[in-house]
């Protein structure tokens, strides 16, 4: 297939008028057929890569059955997210092991592809736990991670850690060559966070959330992340978690090479307001936001990654090319799958989203096949 007349996003962060060839489910130098799709008036962007989210359409990746997993994967693909690294929650080891097995086994030709697993917890700070279940927080345990990685068939690519916990720096030193260690749900000082980055951590989980604020005399995790050139920062751009001014400031501090857009969505994404679950805790959805029931503690988002991209562009004044880069190129690099996904280059999986000028979806191609339209 040839897709012509599109404004094509390139991995160097610019849009160019051009054509896209697809052959055998991959982007190619030439097409394997005479089929032509006219994408006049459309932006052609890579399928988005969400490396931090928990669920959608009434299901959670930590506990969904095979049917629920397939429904989530198909919903995400239809909404422009074609590669996923689902996040678990702070849960008992046996629950996490079962979730790792289920996620690793997901292989739906009509749904987003599982390219990794993200362990968010249980190695987090009690005081900065947010919506994580405090009953299952624990200290670092390398043997436990080895067991979970076996259950996940090697798919654990990202792990969230509070670096002030006992044994955390040693854990990061040993595991950073096998998975991305991210500073998360933490009260770490600037010095402790900087030490974590010096020992191999290379990401900050949902920046500004689950950590002390940036202060001019105590820059903390945010300052340490900014000062570490190899560190990328996750941002939830849903108009709830981070103020637009702060988002713009973050792009200036980190640059669009180091920002990763995430959805942090929960099972309430794609559903009506009401009471839902997150890690066994009740979550109330109201006014575009999710909160732990009977509190004002945010509990993930109800927005897709493409929804966050639209908000970043339309409400936060982030250039479209930068937002696309932060939702495709950067997350793919962060978990080590950029050789196969995250940009429109020959040899990579032909996951493609065509957007109208208003950023509405006109067409999604999943491994070279049309999903909608």
pLDDT in tens, 264-281: 999 888 888 888 878 778
Question: Of the candidates 159, 162, 123, 118, which has an alpha carbon nearest to the alpha carbon of residue 141?
Answer: 123
The pLDDT-based confidence of 292 (bands split at 50, 70, 90) is confident
Distance CA 292, CA 278 (A): 9
Q: What is the pLDDT of residue 78?
A: 96
Q: What is the pLDDT of residue 369?
A: 94
Signed CA dihedral, 115, 204, 12, 20: sign only: positive
Distance CA 69, CA 62 (A): 10
Q: What is the pLDDT of residue 203?
A: 98
Identified catalytic residue from 195, 264, 317, 358: 264
The pLDDT-based confidence of 13 (bands split at 50, 70, 90) is confident
Ordered by where they begin, the domains of the chain are 1-46+343-373 (2.30.40.10), 48-341 (3.20.20.140)
Q: What is the pLDDT of residue 268?
A: 85
Q: What is the pLDDT of residue 373?
A: 52
Q: What is the pLDDT of residue 346?
A: 95
298 against 2, higher pLDDT:
2
The answer to whether residue 264 is catalytic is yes
Q: Is the model's pLDDT at 207 over the cut of 90?
A: yes
Token couple for 277: 């679950």
Mean pLDDT for the stretch of residues 211-235? 97
Residue 99: HSE in the Cβ half-sphere, 13 Å Cα cutoff: 27
Compute the mean pLDDT over every residue in the chain, rounded to the nearest whole number. 94
DSSP classification of residue 339: T
Q: Convert 147-173 into a string of H (helix), E (strand) and C (coil).
A: HHHHHCCCCEEEEEECCCCCCHHHHHH
Q: What is the pLDDT of residue 283?
A: 86
pLDDT in tens, 241-255: 999 999 999 999 999
Flag the least confident range among 9-23, 195-209, 239-253.
9-23
The pLDDT-based confidence of 79 (bands split at 50, 70, 90) is very high
Distance CA 31, CA 277 (A): 46
| pTM of structure | 0.95
Q: Is the model's pLDDT at 64 over the cut of 80?
A: no
């Amino acid at each position: 297939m040839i897709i012509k007349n599109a404004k094509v996003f390139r991995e160097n962060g610019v849009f160019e008028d051009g054509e896209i060839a697809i052959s055998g489910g991959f982007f190619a130098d030439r097409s394997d057929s005479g089929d032509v799709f006219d994408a006049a008036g459309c932006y052609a962007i890579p399928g988005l890569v969400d490396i931090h989210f928990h669920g959608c359409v009434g299901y959670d990746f930590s506990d969904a059955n095979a049917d629920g997993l397939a429904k989530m994967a198909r919903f995400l693909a239809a909404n422009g997210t074609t590669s996923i690294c689902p996040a678990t929650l702070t849960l008992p080891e046996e629950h996490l092991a079962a979730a790792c097995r289920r996620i690793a086994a997901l292989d739906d030709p009509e749904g987003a592809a599982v390219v990794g697993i993200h362990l968010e917890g249980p190695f987090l700070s009690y005081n900065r736990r947010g919506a994580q279940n405090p009953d299952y927080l624990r200290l670092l345990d390398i043997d436990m991670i080895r067991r979970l990685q076996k259950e996940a068939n090697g798919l654990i690519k990202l792990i969230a850690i509070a670096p002030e916990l006992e044994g955390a720096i040693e854990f990061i030193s040993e595991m950073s060559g096998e998975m991305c260690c991210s500073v998360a749900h933490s009260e770490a000082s600037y010095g402790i966070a900087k030490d974590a980055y010096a020992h191999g951590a290379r990401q900050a989980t949902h920046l500004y959330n689950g950590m002390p604020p940036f202060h001019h005399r105590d820059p903390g995790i945010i300052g340490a992340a900014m000062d570490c050139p190899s560190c990328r920062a996750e941002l939830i751009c849903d108009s709830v978690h981070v103020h637009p001014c702060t988002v713009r400031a973050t792009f200036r501090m980190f640059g669009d090479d180091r920002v990763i857009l995430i959805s942090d969505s929960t099972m309430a994404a794609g559903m009506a307001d009401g009471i839902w679950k997150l890690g066994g805790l009740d979550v109330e959805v109201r006014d575009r936001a999710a909160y732990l029931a009977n509190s004002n503690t945010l509990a993930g988002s109800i927005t897709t990654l493409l929804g966050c991209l639209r908000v970043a562009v339309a409400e936060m004044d982030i250039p479209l090319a930068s937002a696309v880069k932060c939702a495709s190129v950067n997350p793919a690099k962060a978990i080590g799958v950029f050789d196969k996904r995250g940009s429109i280059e020959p040899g990579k999986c032909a996951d493609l989203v065509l957007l109208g000028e208003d950023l509405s979806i006109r067409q999604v191609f999943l491994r070279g096949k049309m999903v909608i339209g």
